[in-house]
Amino acid sequence: MGAEPGRDLLLRGGRVWGAPPDADAVLVRGRRIAAVGRGEDLLSAGADVADLAGRWVLPGFTDSHTHFHRTAMLAEYFLDFAELHPADSVAALLDVVAARYAVTPEGAWIQGDNLAPAALAERRFPTRWELDAVAPDRPVLLRGTGKHVVAANSLALRLAGIDATTPDPPGGAIERDEAGEPTGVLHERAKLRLDTTRTDTVVPGLSEADRMRALAAGIARLHELGITAIHEITRTADEFADYQRLRASSGLGVRVRAYVRVVEGQASLDDLAAVGVRSGLGDDLLRFGGVKVSVDGSDEHRNAALHEDYPGHPGHRGLIRIEAAELDAVVRRAHGLGLQTAVHAIGPRAVDLALDAFAGIGDPHGVRRLRHRIEHAYLPPRPGQLETMRDLGLVLSTQPAFLEAGGDGWREIFGADAGPRFLPLRTALDLGLVVQANSDVPCARLDPLVGIRAAVRRTTRAGTHLGAAEAVTVAEAVAMYTRAPAWTAFEEDRRGAVEAGMLADLTVVSGDPVAELDTFTVDATVVDGRLVSSRFTDPTTEGASL
């Protein structure tokens, strides 16, 4: 698909985002945008020409916080309770597990992902005993949204060595019945050896061939959605190695900026320091972005760290997965090693710990230079938090798509009055913060249009409007998926805009994103100068059709 190697590609007959109204064409030469202007002025002999028929050309979308490798595996091999195998009750969920059990070979695991208790009538995870009833002799492991909580059957618990004598680890909690027996529901670091990130996990992995097959299929899905780059959170050596294998075999097909978990992951800062890895290592397709560390858990499971009790749960203020002293040391050392650092902090208490860690570096200019990131921070901020984030020069990396995916649950957990204060995008932009938007897939839908619409409309899946005062414009929302992540990745000189000299990453949409916000679609995608996905006629050679 797309232009023949060595030939120019001319997209003409449309509109170009950010260009004057008379600019109806983009000329791609090699891997870069050669020119933006009027189609008749940009024609060149032998060029492949695509008729846009009034479509708009935008900068290629970047999803700047993904767990895409895991998402690709989920789509091909595991139960997906959000998209492919939805359930509205524990009984319906058990029916799904029973059906998978019927086709699962002896000794194999039954695994699922994206299980949201809020979608079930009982508002809870299934217990080990309920799972045992439908899968008595196969290990079952069902992960909640974001992998923050899992539900396991008795066989899986036994294989992992988790029983009534197992204590709650720091940063984790094992749910127990009145007799002290684990119910099978494990929070955060209490997943122990059922956490596939750990090197001593008992959960078997997929073969290299299966992983590569799923990853290739997933990248094709990125193309359909107009996504030309991802900032990928990698947990295991296999994940980063798979991207390298794909880069060597087929050119990868998407730009990957990899962020390595250095706490709760398989690599440590010691490992990176030993080989001298710094942010920026790699090329324009596959590059090392930095490191990731998580402070708290998920608000969906009431594990995000608050300064006050969760409504209806006296004494419970969430979970801290890393103590302040360790967090400070990790952030300070990563900074000293030249590693851009992304800190997961959802609740205001966790955000305060992250801000203290960055402030404690004692190098204001250096912090700004490395463009460190706060991931999430979408719960109502404590007064002054966003101002501190701005003054430290941090990037706010957050998820408007969570309005659509989890906004209805926020009202249930925090009360109707809290909703308008979530995801303070307008406030952050007005304060001068760099705000990039992303999906955190598989925690929300991968489609950037979902996030763009949510940022502008502030609408939940049930149609409830949350916080119109924090809405942004369409242009601002598009920038959060284009210019902002390019800046975060030190690529503002070559990505994030449709301008001559930029790398040729383009997303073609069906109409005007402003006038047709609720209906426009992605119709074509160009990555690194190649038309990798298209809903309209393949380009024809100039001279044969014009």
Tens of pLDDT along 130-167? 999 999 999 999 999 878 899 999 999 999 999 999 99
Write out the residue range of the structural domain in which residue 121 sits: 78-194
Q: Residue 412: what pLDDT?
A: 87
Q: List b or e across 397-432, with b for residues whose CB sees 16 or more CB atoms inside 10 angstroms.
A: bbbbbbbbbbbbbbbebbeeebbbbbbbbbbbbeee
Which residue in 373, 353, 377 sits closest to 299, CA to CA?
377
405 and 439 share one domain = yes
Distance between CA 267 and CA 517 in Å, rounded? 42
Rounded mean pLDDT of the chain? Answer: 94
Question: Distances from the Cα of 352 to the Cαs of 264, 293, 374, 381, in angstroms?
Answer: 21, 15, 11, 10
- Which helix (DSSP H) or strand (DSSP E) does residue 186 occupy? strand 182-188
- CB 57 within 8 Å of CB 12: no
- CB 26 within 8 Å of CB 16: yes
444 and 519 share one domain = no
Residue 546: pLDDT band (50, 70, 90) is very low
In DSSP terms, 146 is beta-bridged to none
**Tokens 């997303």 sit on residue:** 507
Domain contains 233: no
Q: Residue 146: what pLDDT?
A: 79
Domain contains 214: no
Three-state secondary structure call for residue 511 = coil
| Tokens (6 digits) for 361 | 């570096």
* 118-122, 236-240, 418-422: the lowest-pLDDT one: 418-422
Domain contains 140: yes
**Tokens 């995801």 sit on residue:** 423
Q: Which of 453, 473, 493 is the last residue of a domain?
A: 473
- CB 192 within 8 Å of CB 160: yes
Rounded to the nearest angstrom, the gap between the alpha carbon of residue 368 and the centroid of all alpha carbons in its chain is: 23
Answer yes or no: is pLDDT of 541 > 60: no
Cis peptide before 442 (omega within 30 of 0): yes
Domain contains 203: no
Distance between CA 114 and CA 322 in Å, rounded? 24
- CB 338 within 8 Å of CB 278: yes
pTM of the shown model: 0.92
Q: Which of 153, 179, 194 is the last residue of a domain?
A: 194
Mean pLDDT, range 107-130, rounded to an integer: 93
Q: Residue 362: what pLDDT?
A: 93
Question: Distances from the Cα of 448 to the Cαs of 208, 507, 521, in angstroms?
Answer: 29, 11, 10
Which residue in 250, 225, 151, 300 sits closest to 481, CA to CA?
225
Distance between CA 545 and CA 541 in Å, rounded? 7
379 and 340 share one domain = yes
Q: List b or e across 364-388, with b for residues whose CB sees 16 or more CB atoms inside 10 angstroms.
A: eeebeebbbbbbbbbbbbbeebbeb
Domain contains 188: yes
Three-state secondary structure call for residue 149 = strand
324 and 445 share one domain = yes
444 and 307 share one domain = yes
324 and 423 share one domain = yes
**Tokens 């004494």 sit on residue:** 315
Domain contains 301: yes
**Tokens 């940009």 sit on residue:** 42
pLDDT digits (tens, 9 = 90+) for 465-499: 999 999 999 999 999 999 999 999 999 999 999 99
Mean pLDDT, range 90-117, rounded to an integer: 94
pLDDT digits (tens, 9 = 90+) for 276-292: 999 999 999 999 999 99
Q: How many CB atoms lie within 10 A of CB 539?
A: 23
407 and 513 share one domain = no
pLDDT digits (tens, 9 = 90+) for 294-351: 999 999 899 999 999 999 999 999 999 999 999 999 999 999 999 999 999 999 999 9
Domain contains 258: no
Domain contains 324: yes
Q: Which of 172, 194, 216 is the last residue of a domain?
A: 194
CA torsion angle for 225, 229, 231, 236 (degrees, to 10)? 90
47 and 103 share one domain = no
428 and 355 share one domain = yes
18 and 141 share one domain = no
Distance between CA 57 and CA 67 in Å, rounded? 27
Number of structural domains (the chain) is 3
Residue 36: pLDDT band (50, 70, 90) is very high
In one letter, which amino acid is 182?
A: P
- CB 523 within 8 Å of CB 471: no
424 and 298 share one domain = yes
Answer yes or no: is pLDDT of 368 > 80: yes
**463 or 255, which is more confident?**
255
CATH of the domain at 397: 3.20.20.140
Rounded to the nearest angstrom, the gap between the alpha carbon of residue 452 and the centroid of all alpha carbons in its chain is: 14
**Tokens 């598009």 sit on residue:** 478
- CB 362 within 8 Å of CB 355: no
- Which helix (DSSP H) or strand (DSSP E) does residue 132 occupy? helix 128-134
Answer yes or no: is pLDDT of 4 > 70: no
- CB 422 within 8 Å of CB 466: yes
In DSSP terms, 188 is beta-bridged to 172
- CB 120 within 8 Å of CB 89: yes
- CB 298 within 8 Å of CB 149: yes
- CB 91 within 8 Å of CB 122: no
Q: Residue 85: what pLDDT?
A: 78
46 and 121 share one domain = no
Q: Residue 545: what pLDDT?
A: 32
Q: Residue 461: what pLDDT?
A: 86
Distance between CA 65 and CA 378 in Å, rounded? 14
CATH of the domain at 181: 3.10.310.70
